[in-house]
Chain A
Amino acid sequence: AQTVTQSQPEMSVQEAETVTLSCTYDTSESNYYLFWYKQPPSRQMILVIRQEAYKQQNATENRFSVNFQKAAKSFSLKISDSQLGDTAMYFCAFTGNNAGNMLTFGGGTRLMVKP
């Protein structure tokens, strides 16, 4: 069974600074997909970024980028130029190939962006 670990329960960052959220996972599969989801206080789950394991290039979406280290089974999220609206819970998630899109989630990191 796959596991996803987020070792930082809470983090804070000053507005306009950069912060990195950590995620590690355990799997025996060679092809899989990784995601970061954001959950603001509204409770809505919002996709931040998606990474395909067979792609060497790290995914980016505007101010959000990942550092995907396949050998180390690490998938960290970097948020540049942090904004107050980035305050939220962030979840890392994993799904294998042909897994029926069953996601395994980490426990989450609560990020506070301070003015």
Chain B
Amino acid sequence: NAGVTQTPKFQVLKTGQSMTLQCAQDMNHEYMSWYRQDPGMGLRLIHYSVGAGITDQGEVPNGYNVSRSTTEDFPLRLLSAAPSQTSVYFCASSYSDTEALHFGNGTRLTVT
């Protein structure tokens, strides 16, 4: 089983550029979410989805956009990259809203 697949693993962007971080899961999970991990701050929720067609904001949504057109995919879009968005990004999914999250392997993003 592939589980949660994130691409790319590494990315360098210039300020102002846009890009999409891809996330796909093959476990038929309804719940999907995006977190960012910064040193000393743990993981913080950016956006989440409770099913296809339904998304909502988390703790730090500014500068990011998401959509959920299928159960499997949950891409994260950076609209205009800023140095403050330099971070490690994790996509996660779960079967229900109380089960443990399954995480992807993360994307390290650097914005110069």
Contact = CB atoms under 8 A, between A and B. Distances in A.
B100 A47 contact: yes
A104 to B, nearest CB: 8
Interface stretch (A11-19, A70-78, A80-88, A94-102): A94-102
* Most-contacted residue by chain A among B42, B44, B50, B106 (CB, 10 A): B42
B10 to A, nearest CB: 11
Nearest to B41: A107
Contacts of A42: 105
B94 interface: yes
A105 B96 CA distance: 18
Interface string B30-49: 01010100001111110010
Interface of A: 4, 6, 9, 33, 35, 42-45, 47, 50, 52, 91, 93, 95, 97-108
Sorted nearest first, the 3 A-B pairs with minimum C-beta distance are A105-B42, A45-B103, A101-B97
